[in-house]
């Protein structure tokens, strides 16, 4: 499904950051990402826009894994602690509620086992 609707995505597409998501259970997925210094905002922190894009991508691909193509209508990101470059992060996403065509998802980002960020989004089905 991602190949049909999302193949040119800068985050998970074939020519972008090439993030690979793994379905972990029904309505949820996980992904790991290495925080390369080229994605810094401040010298010692991953850029907030990159963090937001990773969270959005995880939630979008969670929907794809459930067979749903949808676009982000609203994304709220809560930055809790700085994400340090040169290390991996783990992003988890899950569908928390839905009444088609509206889907509510949540995601978290962890680094070294610590919660660094969480997000909540509303998606609108497009197919």
CATH number at residue 31: 3.10.129.10
Q: Is residue 14 part of a domain?
A: no
Residue 3 predicted with pLDDT over 70 = no
Residue with tokens 């982000």: 72
What φ, ψ does residue 33 adopt, rounded to 5°?
A: -140, 135
**pLDDT given for residue 6 in this prediction:** 64
Whole-prediction pTM: 0.90
Q: Is residue 12 part of a domain?
A: no
Smallest Cα–Cα separation from 107: which of 121, 86, 97? Answer: 121
**CA end-to-end span of the chain, whole Å?**
11
For residue range 63-101, what is the model confidence (pLDDT) as tens digits? 998 999 999 999 999 999 999 999 999 999 999 999 989
Structural domain boundaries, residue 28: 2-7+23-125
Q: Is residue 27 part of a domain?
A: yes
Split into its structural domains, the chain has a count of 1
Is the link from the previous residue into 101 a cis peptide, with omega within 30 of 0? yes
Q: Is residue 15 part of a domain?
A: no
What φ, ψ does residue 18 adopt, rounded to 5°?
A: 55, 45
Q: Is residue 47 part of a domain?
A: yes
Residue with tokens 């569908």: 95
Q: Is residue 77 part of a domain?
A: yes
């Amino acid at each position: 499904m991602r190949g049909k609707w999302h193949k040119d995505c800068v985050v998970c597409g074939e020519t972008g950051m090439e993030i690979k998501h793994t379905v972990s259970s029904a309505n949820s997925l996980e992904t790991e990402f290495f925080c390369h210094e080229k994605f810094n905002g401040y010298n010692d922190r991953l850029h907030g826009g990159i963090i937001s894009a990773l969270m959005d991508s995880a939630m979008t691909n969670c929907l794809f894994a459930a067979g749903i193509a949808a676009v982000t209508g609203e994304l709220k990101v809560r930055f809790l602690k700085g994400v340090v470059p040169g290390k991996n992060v783990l992003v988890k996403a899950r569908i928390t509620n839905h009444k088609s065509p509206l889907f509510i998802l949540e995601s978290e980002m962890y680094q070294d086992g610590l919660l660094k960020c969480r997000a909540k989004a509303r998606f609108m089905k497009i197919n």
